[in-house]
């Protein structure tokens, strides 16, 4: 099924341009079997282009691809698969309405050109593949009902079935909890021991250090650092990626002594999701909320935004008790919410950056007769574009033309533009590169200093440690632990989570 | 910041490239038919006749455009317009004297009743689609049958004709030489254009049509906005119905059945994205004019009517292919651009 002796998979001096812009300017990288190689770099550094060249999606302008001794000037996708190159993309490219077994066996059946597919055969293929990577998932359940972590493992199983010799994993841990990451790492390690060359693409430096043996860092289409993982310190990797030093220590903005409390939850309860949750956030305070997937953290955040039903308890905004049974009510009380999925919940992708920024505040811009002045909207849009340093040539461009970090800033601008008292941020830095992340955290800090109260729901523990005054851990719908200013540390929070 | 604003202003003009394309297309069609048949097509009489025929279908198309901008569709426009026209015609004929005289008050009452009925029909669609969450195409297919059935049932399928001259004067008259219906259409198109581009309701329509879920997370009152589009669609349909009744001096329960498909053709031809989120009133009006010119041109050239239908379809197929090709080119360009930046 897999390669048995050490093999080299490499690219040499790869150049690739798109319409005059160089995405890759002579990149070389080498990965051998039984090795987990980290490919790091910010968005737009050329990681995706490199993956696409090695998997046959793009043909390079020049350069050489060598797969286990065979040399190619360029690959077709079919050739890449035949040579054992597999990619697990962030969206997994699985089929939601098929069962787990069908998803795993489908590509195998297609490659064999089977016209008729037997259920028993399908199940056998799936069971073997899952057994091979040592994972236990109900193969008969429909894919939609499986967790993101399981989908990740199912995608790996599917790849092993196709005789994978080199596996690209594109930010595989983005949506996983620490526990699930541990399981994933076990599987990755097992694949490595069985002779698969693995390329692990990630932004998360602590995870890279944990799982990878070697590293290549790209910046602006060039290799800026490479070598054995053990030679690099976390800070050096971050510096290589961004080209500048990044502070990782705690910098929570100072709190006023007698700041009033802006949001108070008292024994907030929603049947079967969260129970007896009480906490308060005062002016300028940033409170972190973390928990595993399914712990009730997103439901709690959406309940405060009026999007999830509450059965008991009460919410006070700025001292007044409010009924938040709809987002309209939440908005009227001064609560804003940045949802977790930027692409489907946060943005109007094909619409202009400008229209996205003014989306929430539209009604407030109405003059008499209900008219809206275009120049006024343009003014508001441009002022937020410069305020949050959104990188764009023209605010009329569709928001889909922006990079992930800039898109997230547009979502932030949309809410900041109406100046809410309380901002709830759900995973504001997911899928955002290191540099953008730092700037987004800075924006949050600045606003907090100006008096806005923040609830930061996140999986990213280092980020919580960096800017929160207090971190709450939610478990099975209950606040299981509260870390105060002095108690906050990554290790303590990880320990509480697992 | 000033620089940013200027860029915004200049590119806002360029962004309606589809309208520019359509204008070119309109001019091309005009030139071709004028060349081929200058004696019949390129005459004041023919242009006047076209200006009488364009408004009703243009207004119906604008109604369809509104629902399509939110990602829905309104198939009940023609049924609504016929129902409104019948009610107005009924009131008019009941209250006129034997020699066809009627007071202006009754004319006003008849028109208001028709408009009110249009609002009610639109309200029913709004209820089904926005409140009960029924898929627009199914909900309006059902109301299309319902309204049509009511119209046929109440009239036994017979049209109401012989409307008072004071009423039909509007639909057949001119205003400074321009057919009155055309003036009304321009007025309505301007109002709708202002509404979708310069009001919060209008901007919300575009955003909701682009991503309903994001609209919900942006607290736009998406249900209220969608409800309004169907109510306005009903209102516009009733306007069209009144204009038709006035021009034809009659109202019929089965008038213009082919108008539903024609309106959809026009809306798509006019550059409205069938998935929602993008489109202009100018585009829709221009598309109506193009199709009307093709129809008149074929008439002038004494081409077979059946052949005309094929030509209409052919135009649509061509435009859709062009749309796809241009869209692909634009997309690959913008990908390259975003890589550069």
Q: Write the residue in B200, B206, B215 that is nearest to A363 by C-beta.
A: B200
Contacts of B15 (CB under 8 A, 6+ apart): A396
What's the distance, Cα to Cα, between the start and end of chain A in Å?
35
Q: Which pLDDT does position A17 carry in this prediction?
A: 80
The alpha carbons of chain B give a radius of gyration, in whole angstroms, of: 21
On the 0-12 / 13-18 / 19+ scale of CB atoms within 10 A, A262 is buried
Residues of B in Cβ contact (< 8 Å) with A52: none
| Minimum CA–CA partner of B275 in chain A | A350
Contact A395 B4 (CB under 8 A): yes
Residue B302 CB contacts under 8 Å (≥ 6 apart), including other chains: none
Alpha-carbon span B241 to B83, nearest angstrom: 8
Is A301 inside a domain boundary?
Answer: yes
Last residue of a domain, one of A178, A211, A240: A240
Residue A271 pLDDT > 50, yes or no?
yes
Query: pTM for this structure?
Result: 0.77
Q: Pick the last residue of a domain from A205, A240, A275.
A: A240
Q: B336–A19: do the CB atoms touch at under 8 Å?
A: yes
Closest residue in chain A to residue B276, using alpha carbons only? A350
pLDDT digits (tens, 9 = 90+) for A319-367: 899 999 999 999 999 999 999 888 889 999 989 999 999 999 888 888 7
Task: Give the residue from chain B lying closest to A373, CA to CA.
Answer: B198
Assess whether A272 and A220 both reside in one domain: no
Evaluate whether residue A108 is within a structural domain.
yes
User: For chain B, first and last CA: distance in Å?
Assistant: 19
Residue B70 has pLDDT above 90, yes or no: yes
Q: Residues of A with CB below 8 A from B5's CB?
A: 375, 378-379, 382
CATH code at A97? 3.40.50.300
Tokens of B21: 């394309």
Q: Rounded to whole angstroms, what are the CA distances from B235 to A300, B118, B120?
A: 43, 5, 9
Residues A65 and A191 in one domain: yes
Measured between alpha carbons, how far is A288 from A482 in angstroms, rounded to an integer? 10
Sheet arrangement for strand A286-290: A335-338, A422-426, A453-457, A286-290, A470-475, A478-483
Q: Are residues A263 and A192 in the same domain?
A: no
Same domain? For A328 and A390 the reply is yes
Measure A50 CA to nearest chain B CA, in Å: 14
% of chain A with per-residue pLDDT over 90: 38
* DSSP 8-state symbol, A13: E
All residues of chain A having their beta carbon less than 8 Å from the beta carbon of residue B206 are: 351, 355
The shortest C-alpha distance from B280 to chain A (Å) reads 14
Alpha-carbon distance of A207 to A162, in angstroms, equals 27
Q: Which residues of B touch A340 (CB under 8 A)?
A: none
Indicate if A407 and A297 belong to the same structural domain: yes
| pLDDT of amino acid A244 | 61
DSSP 8-state symbol, A230: G
Best probe of the A interface among B1, B5, B8, B15, by most A CBs < 10 A, is B8
Nearest CA in chain A to B204: A359
Both A46 and A165 in one domain: the answer is yes
Cross-chain CB nearest to B8 (options A345, A366, A395): A395
Q: Name the B residues in 166-195 with CB < 8 Å from any A CB.
A: 194
Is there a domain that residue A408 lies in? yes
Higher local confidence (pLDDT), A44 or A430: A430
- A18 to B4: CB separation less than 8 angstroms, yes or no: no
Instruction: Outline where A353-457 has alpha helix (H).
Output: 353-358, 374-387, 404-416, 434-449
What pLDDT, on a 0 to 100 scale, did the predictor assign at position A161?
83
Task: State how far the Cα of A181 lies from the Cα of A213, in Å rounded to an integer.
Answer: 17
Rounded CA separation A188/A7 (Å): 18
- Same structural domain for residues A212 and A353? no
Mean pLDDT of chain B: 87
The reply to whether residue A372 touches residue B335, judged by beta carbons under 8 angstroms, is no
CA distances to A142, A287, A330, A381, A425 from A412, rounded to whole Å, are 36, 17, 17, 12, 9
CB of B15 within 8 Å of any CB in chain A?
yes
Between positions 380 and 399 of A, the ones with CB within 8 A of B are 381-383, 385-386, 391-398
- On whether both A193 and A265 belong to a single domain, the answer is no
* Same domain, residue pair A203 and A263: no
Could you give the CA distance from residue A200 to residue A213 in angstroms, rounded to a whole number?
10
With contacts defined as CB-CB under 8 Å, which chain A residues touch B198?
371-374
Residue A66 resides in a domain: yes
Task: Check whether residue A105 and residue A164 sit in a common domain.
Answer: yes
The values of phi and psi at residue A452, to 5°, are -75, 145
Chain A contact for B277, CB < 8 A?
A: yes
Give the closest of B5, B207, B340 to A20, CB-based: B340
The structure tokens 């940013």 sit at B4
Which residues of chain B does A379 touch, with a Cβ-Cβ cutoff of 8 Å? 1, 5
- Cβ neighbors of B240 (< 8 A, separation 6 or more) are B55, B56, B57, B59, B60, B63, B77, B81
Q: Which domain holds residue A14?
A: 7-240
Tens digits of residue pLDDT in A113-155: 777 778 888 888 888 888 888 888 888 888 888 887 888 889 8
Helical axes A148-161 vs A119-132, angle rounded to 10°:
100
Q: Please count the other Cβ atoms lying within 10 Å of the Cβ belonging to residue B302.
A: 8
- Domain presence at residue A371: yes
Cα dihedral A479, A483, A484, A487 in deg (nearest 10): 170
Measured between CA atoms, the residue of chain B closest to residue A363 is B200
For residue B201, which residues of chain A lie inside 8 Å, CB to CB?
370
What are the chain A neighbours of B340 within 8 Å (beta carbons)? 18-21
Q: Residue A287 has which token pair? A: 């409170």
Does A275 lie in the same domain as A185?
A: no
Pick from A328, A360, A378: CB nearest B8: A378
Whether residue B198 lies within 8 A of chain A, CB to CB, comes out as: yes
* pLDDT tens sequence across A277-288: 999 999 999 999
Report which of residues B233 and A246 the model is more confident about.
Answer: B233
Residues B109-165 have pLDDT tens digits of: 999 999 999 999 999 999 999 999 999 999 999 999 999 999 999 999 899 998 999
Residue A446 lies in a domain: yes
Per DSSP bridges, beta strands A166-170 and A197-201 are parallel
Over the range A101-117, which residues count as b (16 or more CB within 10 Å of their CB) and which as e? bbbbbbbbbeeeeeeee
A344 and A207 both lie in a single domain: no
Contact B71, B276 (CB under 8 A): yes
Token digits of residue B187: 């007025």
| Cβ <8 Å between B278 and A350 | yes
How does pLDDT run across B7-52, given as a tens digit for each residue? Answer: 433 333 334 677 887 888 888 888 888 888 888 888 888 889 899 9
Within A68-211, where are the H helices? 77-82, 100-111, 119-132, 148-161, 178-193, 205-211
B34 close contact with A: CB closer than 8 A: no
Q: Is B180 helix (H, G, I), strand (E, B) or coil?
A: helix
Residue among B232, B233, B225 at smallest CA distance from B200: B225
> Cβ A21–B200 below 8 Å, yes or no?
no
Total tally of structural domains belonging to chain A: 2
A163-210: pLDDT as tens digits: 889 999 988 887 677 788 888 899 999 889 888 999 998 877 888 888
Query: Does A2 map to a domain?
Result: no
Q: What are the backbone angles phi and psi of residue A37, rounded to the nearest 5°?
A: -105, 130
Beta bridge partners of A38: A200, A215
Decide if A420 touches B, using CB distance below 8 A. no
Contacts of A398 in chain B (CB under 8 A): 334
Which of A206, A240, A274 is at the close of a domain? A240
In chain B the domains, ranked by start, together with CATH numbers, are: 20-26+46-335 (1.10.3470)
Confidence at B4, pLDDT banded by 50, 70, 90: very low
Q: Is the pLDDT of residue A230 over 60?
A: yes
Please tell me which residue of chain A has the smallest CA distance to B207. Answer: A348
- Establish if A231 belongs to a structural domain: yes
């Amino acid at each position: 099924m897999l390669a048995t002796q050490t093999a080299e998979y490499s690219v040499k001096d790869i150049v690739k341009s798109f319409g005059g812009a160089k995405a890759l300017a002579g990149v070389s990288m080498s990965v051998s079997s039984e090795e987990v190689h980290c490919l790091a770099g910010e968005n737009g550094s050329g990681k995706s282009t490199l993956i696409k060249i090695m998997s046959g999606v793009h043909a390079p302008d020049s350069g050489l691809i060598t797969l286990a001794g065979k040399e190619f000037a360029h690959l077709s996708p079919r050739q890449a698969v035949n040579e054992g190159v597999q990619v697990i993309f962030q969206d997994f490219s699985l089929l939601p309405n098929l069962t787990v077994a069908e998803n795993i066996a489908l590509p195998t059946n297609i490659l064999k050109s089977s016209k008729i597919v037997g259920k028993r055969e399908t199940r056998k293929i799936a069971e073997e593949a899952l057994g091979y990577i040592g994972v236990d998932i109900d193969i008969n359940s429909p894919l939609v009902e499986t967790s993101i972590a399981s989908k990740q493992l199912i995608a790996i199983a599917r790849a092993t079935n196709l005789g994978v010799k080199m596996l690209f994993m594109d930010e595989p841990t983005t949506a996983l909890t620490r526990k699930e990451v541990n399981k994933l790492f076990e599987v990755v390690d097992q694949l490595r021991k069985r002779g698969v060359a693995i390329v692990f693409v990630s932004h998360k430096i602590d995870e890279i250090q944990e799982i990878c043996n070697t590293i290549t860092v790209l910046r602006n289409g060039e290799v800026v650092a490479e070598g054995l993982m053990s030679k690099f310190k976390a800070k050096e990797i971050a510096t290589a990626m961004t080209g500048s030093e990044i502070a990782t220590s705690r910098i929570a903005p100072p709190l006023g002594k007698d700041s009033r409390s802006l949001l108070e939850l008292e024994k907030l309860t929603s049947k079967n999701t969260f129970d007896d949750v009480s906490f308060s956030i005062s002016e300028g305070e940033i409170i972190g909320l973390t928990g595993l997937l399914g712990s009730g953290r997103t439901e709690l955040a959406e309940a405060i935004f009026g999007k999830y039903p509450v059965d008991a308890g009460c919410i006070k905004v700025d001292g007044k008790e409010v009924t938040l049974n709809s987002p309209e009510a939440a908005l009227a009380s001064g609560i804003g919410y940045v949802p977790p999925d930027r692409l489907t919940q946060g943005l109007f992708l094909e619409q202009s950056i400008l229209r996205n920024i003014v989306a929430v505040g539209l009604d407030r811009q109405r003059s008499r007769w209900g008219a809206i002045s275009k120049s006024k909207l343009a003014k508001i849009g441009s002022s937020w574009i410069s305020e949050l340093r959104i990188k764009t040539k023209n605010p009329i461009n569709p928001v889909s033309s922006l990079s992930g970090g800039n898109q997230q800033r547009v979502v932030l601008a949309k809410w900041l533009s109406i100046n809410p008292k309380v901002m709830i941020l759900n995973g504001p830095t997911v899928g955002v590169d290191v540099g953008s992340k730092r700037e987004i955290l800075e924006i949050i800090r600045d606003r907090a200093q100006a008096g806005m109260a923040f609830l930061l729901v996140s999986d990213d523990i280092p980020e919580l440690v960096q800017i929160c005054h207090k971190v709450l851990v939610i478990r099975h719908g209950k606040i299981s632990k509260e870390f105060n200013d002095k108690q906050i540390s990554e290790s303590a929070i990880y320990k509480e989570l697992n | 910041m000033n620089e940013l604003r200027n860029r915004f202003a200049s590119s806002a003009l360029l962004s309606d490239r589809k309208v520019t394309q359509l204008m070119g297309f309109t001019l091309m069609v005009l030139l071709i038919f004028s060349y081929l048949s200058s004696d019949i097509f390129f005459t004041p009489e023919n242009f006047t006749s076209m200006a009488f025929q364009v408004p009703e279908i243009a207004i119906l198309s604008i109604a369809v455009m509104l629902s399509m901008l939110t990602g829905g569709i309104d198939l009940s426009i023609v049924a609504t317009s016929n129902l409104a026209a019948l009610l107005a015609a009924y009131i008019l004929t009941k209250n006129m004297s034997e020699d066809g005289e009627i007071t202006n008050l009754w004319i006003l009452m008849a028109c208001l009743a028709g408009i009110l009925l249009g609002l009610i029909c639109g309200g029913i669609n709004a209820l089904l689609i926005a409140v009960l969450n029924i898929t627009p195409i199914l909900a309006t297919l059902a109301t299309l049958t319902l309204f049509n059935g009511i119209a046929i049932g109440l009239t036994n399928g017979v049209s109401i004709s012989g409307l008072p001259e004071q009423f039909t004067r509007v639909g057949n008259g001119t205003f400074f030489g321009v057919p009155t219906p055309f003036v009304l259409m321009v007025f309505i198109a301007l109002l709708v254009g202002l509404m979708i581009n310069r009001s919060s309701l209008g901007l919300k329509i575009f955003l909701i049509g682009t991503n309903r879920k994001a609209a919900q997370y942006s607290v736009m009152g998406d249900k209220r906005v969608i409800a309004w589009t169907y109510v306005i669609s009903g209102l516009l349909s009733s306007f069209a119905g009144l204009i038709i009744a006035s021009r034809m001096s009659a109202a019929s329960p089965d008038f213009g059945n082919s108008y539903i498909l024609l309106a959809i053709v026009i809306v798509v031809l006019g550059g409205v994205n069938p998935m929602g989120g993008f489109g202009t009133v100018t585009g829709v009006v221009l598309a109506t004019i193009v199709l009307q010119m093709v129809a008149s041109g074929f008439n002038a050239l004494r081409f077979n009517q059946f052949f005309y239908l094929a030509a209409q379809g052919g135009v649509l197929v061509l435009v859709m292919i062009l749309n796809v090709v241009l869209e692909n080119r634009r997309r690959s360009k913008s990908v390259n651009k975003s890589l550069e930046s």
